[in-house]
Amino acid sequence: MATYVHRFADGGKDDKDLLGGKGANLAEMVKIGLPVPPGFTITTEACRAYMRDGVVPPELRVEVTMAVREIEDAFGRQLGDVRDPLLVSVRSGAKFSMPGMMETVLNVGLNDASVRGLAEMAGDERFAWDSYRRLVQMFGRTVLGLDGDLFADALDTLKAERGVTSDVDLTADDLRGLVATYKALVLEHSGREFPQHPREQLDMAIEAVLDSWNTDRARLYRRRERIPDALGTAVNVCTMVFGNLGEDSGTGVCFTRDPATGHSGVYGDYLPNAQGEDVVAGIRNTFPLAHLEELDPTSYRELLAAMRKLETHYRDLCDIEFTIERGKLWLLQTRVGKRTAAAAFRVATQLVDEHLITLDEAISRTTGEQLTQLMFPQFDRSGETTLLTRAMAASPGAAVGEIVLDNAQAEARAAEGASVILVRRETNPDDLPGMVVAAGVLTARGGKTSHAAVVARGMGICAVVGADKLDVDLTAREVRVDGQVLRPGDVIAIDGSTGEVFLGEVPVMDSPVMRYLSDGLDAGLAAAPDDATRELVVAVDRILEHADSVRTMEVRANADSADDALRARARGAQGIGLCRTEHQFLGERRHFVEAVVLAESDEEREAALADLLPLQRGDFVGLLEAMDGLPTTIRLIDPPLHEFLPDLTELSVKVALAERDGGADPRDVKILGAVRRMHEQNPMLGLRGVRLGLKIPGLFALQIRAVAEATVELRERGFDPRPEIMVPLVGSVREMHLVREEALGILTEIGRGSGHLLDLPVGCMIELPRAALTAHRIAEEADFFSFGTNDLTQTTWGMSRDDVEGAFFHDYLDNGVLTISPFETIDALGVGALVRVGVEGGRSTKPELKIGVCGEHGGDPESIRFFQGAGLDYVSCSPFRVPVARLEAARAAVEAGGDATL
């Protein structure tokens, strides 16, 4: 028989699977001798049995009886006692925090009889009836499922009758009457009496908490946070203690260090003669924690000792909820405290300096996501600002610009050089053109996974979403916020890291951390406005330096130009993992490629290619010079043919109209013919990558020749260029063989001609399922592999990125098929399985085969952890994400090491 009930004394902080987070930490506090009110935890196993069978396991009732009796004996009070009743709270507590998602019932045990005992015990009749009133209200709403407004309205009515505005002005009699009203409401709307038997209250409250695990909003929340539904919640039943029994009582929240800034030293709030609810409701102003020292020095010292004990024990910043009942300190909850990004870095290095944790652990305590937040530009808040509203921070950064309300406006003003912020009720794929040119996006609706949020993060522009005070009126062409009216052209500033929206200009500055990352420690320190920021910059430096020493995966960058390469190198990139050569084709040199694609004879094509050679060579010279001494992976041309050609529909319309008007441009007609001939239904699955290279004679040869000649030129100038040639979209070993033969021929020829040994590695992308499945064969012809997980995701799921994000991504988030875009974080189960197959296959043929990843997943924390597990040698990401990848790769290595975390 499973044991469904654990006393707080039976467990510890590592039992979160069974006891939930709150229960495990309560047990831990009991274990280390801190004052916790007696209580017990009903395990997640009980919840899982309940979900499976649809009824509470019968053993549970027996075990609850045993546990309650133990508390009664220990505390000397009994549930339902008419003189000095035991009251308990019933709270949910899952393994992972789900704030606000699940239910709590306080004051269980009060009834028409015991309310009198409580009054007597407390010496405060008003307190007792207020407690009873709260129980009936909470019970009605939570356990019986009644509309909370019923109770709120009755309270308002009563206050109106009494001519008071605050709850505290109601008398004991008022509250006794309110209890009667509430009980009548319960009977009327639920069809049953409010249960008088304390044990019935307790059982119903437990069941209600268990039920709250499976409400729609809890399930939705879990899907989005990727918390498995099967975990279940624990239920904590805890003796009530009261902070509102007079001036020698009170309640508070404290932190062992400042979670906002990371300052060392305790931090918190205290409210005398109050309950936790009152702190949350913000009815009265709290005092800083130090105030407690004056009020109750004994309890204060006891609390400081408990905080120190907890921080030493948890070896991390803790947050604590506590209550003082008539001079006796009780700790109600603790956990490792949430903190801002800056605090994370500062606290981690402080703890290292205090010899509480190692640098390896410090790495585990900071995340790439936090580092990213520190890298975005930020508002200079030293001047005056006018806050318009505050909403959800959806894509970090700081943007200032004119309000624009649609694509046309956005494009027109951006074309005139204005910085614009697109303001919409919500966005959809039609708004993309406007988003592309905007500095930021502000929407009135939607959450962190709304279209605006997802697309803005993808494009790296700043976004604030769900600003529900915003009224975007497209008819009047104005935006109203709290009565204030804004019009297109008015300047606003949005902070995508905090969710703030300001009226007017706010100066934007580079973050000191970014200055440090780009230009070194001295520059970072110089940019820091205060000591706290200087400490932060030093903390980031120490952690990244250590990260570089512990990680086992290299970090490279995806960069197509010398400028990008230099930027990436400054931020710690150890090479280029992907240089996309087609960008060089698609830019100003498009006309050449049109000539190549449209060439009508071998001679025309060869001439056009010959013209391109010096230009490509020049590009590679710049890139390889920037990356002197570091590996630089150059991918041969990849995109679908149609990207080099005008749009079929646009050109068809243009030619048709011109013909109607007396004759189209013959060049247009010729191009239209080519576009029609080469039109593909599904260009992503068509003529691209190695297919294009094998079909158009001389195309890959031109690029390989340019790489080889650039290498020779740089060597002769005393540099150490290290290009690696990468073949895209390989699906079979023979494709690789053909390109490799061609490449080796050209390298040998140019090597002989120049007197340099050109033994450049020739490898390939693994970006098709077939490449992963036949990697053991492809490895025979490849010097290295690089996973292209963007394309691999597209083909494994059979979803193109544009189409999924345009057409049905949101439906799929809503219905739970996806919890995050598989293009953002690697789909470990499907795409990841192919990555593993590819690594195993490649290394079965060449045990030392170098394998990396150069899709956008290379900069995503969770994906980086996956790649570490899959045994990759390097990740390659955008220059911006390089520091993030350095940190995350180190965290993954430390995790993989296994013994560095508690």
Residue 724 is encoded by which pair of tokens? Answer: 């690696």
Smaller CB separation from a copy of itself, 7 or 224: 224
Show contacts with a copy of itself in window 813-832 (CB under 8 A).
815-817, 827, 829-831
For a copy of itself, give the closer residue by CB, 544 or 637: 637
Q: Rounded CA gap, 207 and 195, in Å?
A: 14
Nearer to a copy of itself, 563 or 811 (CB): 811
541, 735, 873, 888: residue in contact with a copy of itself (rule CB under 8 A): 735
Helix (H) or strand (E) holding 454: helix 451-459
Contact 626, 562 (CB under 8 A): yes
Distance in angstroms (rounded) separating the CA atoms of residues 561 and 550:
30
Q: Exactly one of 244, 795, 821, 876 binds a copy of itself (CB under 8 A); which one?
A: 795
Region near a copy of itself per CB under 8 A, out of 37-45, 65-73, 650-658, 751-759:
650-658
Instruction: Name the one range near a copy of itself by CB under 8 A: 259-267, 328-336, 488-496, 788-796.
Output: 788-796
| Minimum distance, C-beta of residue 733 to a copy of itself, in the bound complex (Å) | 9
**Sole binder of a copy of itself in the list 122, 403, 729, 762 (CB under 8 A):** 729
Name the segment binding a copy of itself (CB under 8 A); options: 3-11, 359-367, 730-738, 857-865.
730-738
Interacting residue with a copy of itself among 563, 680, 716, 759 (CB under 8 A)? 680
For a copy of itself, the closer CB: 246 or 830? 830
CA distance 113 to 806: 62
Segments in 262-405 forming alpha helices (H): 276-281, 290-295, 297-314, 341-353, 359-364, 368-375
Any contact of residue 745 with a copy of itself (CB under 8 A)? no
Does position 113 interact with a copy of itself (CB under 8 A)? The reply is: no
Q: Which residue has the tokens 């209890």?
A: 179
Work out how close the CB of 777 gets to a copy of itself at its nearest, in angstroms, rounded to a whole number.
8
Q: Which residues of 513-545 are buried (b: 16+ CB within 10 A; e: fewer)?
A: bbbbbbeeeebbbebbeeeebbbbbbbbbbbbe
Distance CA 775, CA 778 (A): 5
Among 338, 591, 734, 752, which residue interacts with a copy of itself (rule: CB under 8 A)? Answer: 734
- Binding segment for a copy of itself (CB under 8 A), chosen from 241-249, 326-334, 371-379, 802-810, is 802-810
768 is a contact residue toward a copy of itself (CB under 8 A) = yes
Crossing angle of helices 125-138 and 148-162, in 10° steps, is 150
Four-residue CA torsion sign, 338, 342, 347, 352: positive
Number of residues that bind a copy of itself (CB under 8 A): 59
Cβ closest to a copy of itself, residue 354 vs residue 600: 600
Pick from 723, 731, 855, 883 the residue near a copy of itself by CB under 8 A. 731
597 contacts a copy of itself (rule: CB under 8 A): no
Pairing of strands 491-495, 500-503: antiparallel
Residue 898: left if φ>0, alpha if ψ -120 to 50, beta else—which one? left
* Sign of the alpha-carbon torsion through 18, 21, 25, 28: positive
Cα–Cα distance measured from residue 843 to residue 668, given in angstroms and rounded to the nearest whole number: 51
Which residues 693-712 are close enough to bind a copy of itself by CB under 8 A?
694-695
Identified binder of a copy of itself from the candidate list 656, 757, 896, 902, rule CB under 8 A: 656
- The helix/strand/coil state of 572 is coil
Q: Pick from 280, 416, 682, 898 the residue near a copy of itself by CB under 8 A.
A: 682
User: Is residue 230 at the binding interface for a copy of itself, with CB under 8 A as the rule?
Assistant: no
Compare residues 310 and 804 and give the one whose CB is closer to a copy of itself.
804
Q: Is 803 in the site for a copy of itself (CB under 8 A)?
A: yes
Which pair of tokens denotes residue 157?
């009515």
Q: How far is CA 569 from CA 607, 625, 879, in A?
A: 36, 12, 8
Stretch that binds a copy of itself, among 57-65, 74-82, 332-340, 733-741 (CB under 8 A): 733-741
Interior angle at CA 238, CA 236 and CA 239, nearest 5: 170
Asked whether 572 and 549 are in contact (CB, 8 A), the reply is no
**Is residue 408 a contact residue for a copy of itself (CB under 8 A)?**
no
Residue number, 173 or 803, with CB nearest to a copy of itself: 803
Q: Which residue, 278 or 735, has its beta carbon nearer to a copy of itself?
A: 735
CB-wise, 411 or 611, nearer to a copy of itself? 411
Dist CA 441 CA 419 (whole Å): 12
HSE, CB side, 13 Å, CA atoms: give it for residue 469. Answer: 16
Identity of the residue numbered 806: G
For the residues of 135-193, what is the DSSP string, one character each?
HHHHIIIIIS---HHHHHHHHHHHHHHHT-SSGGGS-HHHHHHHHHHHHHHHHHHHSSP
CA distance 280 to 104: 14
807 binds a copy of itself, rule: CB under 8 A:
yes
Minimum distance, C-beta of residue 589 to a copy of itself, in the bound complex (Å): 24
The residues annotated as belonging to the active site are 451, 854
Side-chain-facing half-sphere of 767: CA atoms under 13 Å: 26
Q: How many CB atoms lie within 10 A of CB 69?
A: 12
Question: Taking CB under 8 A as the rule, does residue 649 contact a copy of itself?
Answer: yes
For position 770 contacting a copy of itself by CB under 8 A, the verdict is: yes
Alpha carbons 93 and 23: distance in angstroms, whole number: 7
Interacting span for a copy of itself (CB under 8 A) from 356-364, 393-401, 631-639, 680-688: 680-688
Q: Least distance in Å: CB of 859 to a copy of itself?
A: 23
Among 131, 794, 821, 878, binds a copy of itself (CB under 8 A): 794
| Binding residue (CB under 8 A) for a copy of itself from 380, 563, 720, 802 | 802
Residue number with CB closer to a copy of itself (142 or 449): 449
**Rounded to the nearest whole angstrom, what is the least distance from the CB of residue 198 to a copy of itself in the complex?**
41
Among 4-12, 113-121, 176-184, 791-799, which window interacts with a copy of itself (CB under 8 A)?
Answer: 791-799
Q: Does 433 bind a copy of itself (CB under 8 A)?
A: no
* Of 80-88, 342-350, 529-537, 728-736: span binding a copy of itself (CB under 8 A): 728-736
Q: Is 663 in the site for a copy of itself (CB under 8 A)?
A: no
Minimum CB distance to a copy of itself, residue 134 (Å): 40
Q: Is 112 helix (H, G, I), strand (E, B) or coil?
A: coil
Closer residue to a copy of itself in complex, CB, 297/673: 673
Sketch the per residue contact string, 832 through 871, with a copy of itself: x for CB under 8 A, - otherwise: -xx-------------------------------------
Beta 470-473 vs 478-481: how paired, if at all? antiparallel
CB atoms within 10 A of CB 898: 7
Question: Using CA atoms in the order 67, 73, 79, 82, what is the torsion angle rounded to 10 degrees?
Answer: 170
Examine residue 799 and tell whether it contacts a copy of itself (CB under 8 A): yes
> Looking at 444-452, 505-513, 753-761, 805-813, which segment touches a copy of itself (CB under 8 A)?
805-813
Backbone angles phi, psi at 761, to 5 degrees: -65, 140
Q: How many residues belong to the chain? A: 902
- For residue 54, count CB atoms less than 10 angstroms from its CB and return exposed for 0-12, middle for 13-18, buried for 19 or more: exposed
- Which residue bears the tokens 């010959």? 610
Q: Is 66 in the site for a copy of itself (CB under 8 A)?
A: no
Q: Provide the binding-site residues for a copy of itself, judged by CB under 8 A.
A: 430, 648-649, 652-653, 656-657, 660, 677-678, 680-687, 691, 694-695, 729, 731-732, 734-735, 738, 767-770, 773-774, 777, 791, 794-800, 802-804, 806-808, 811-812, 815-817, 827, 829-831, 833-834
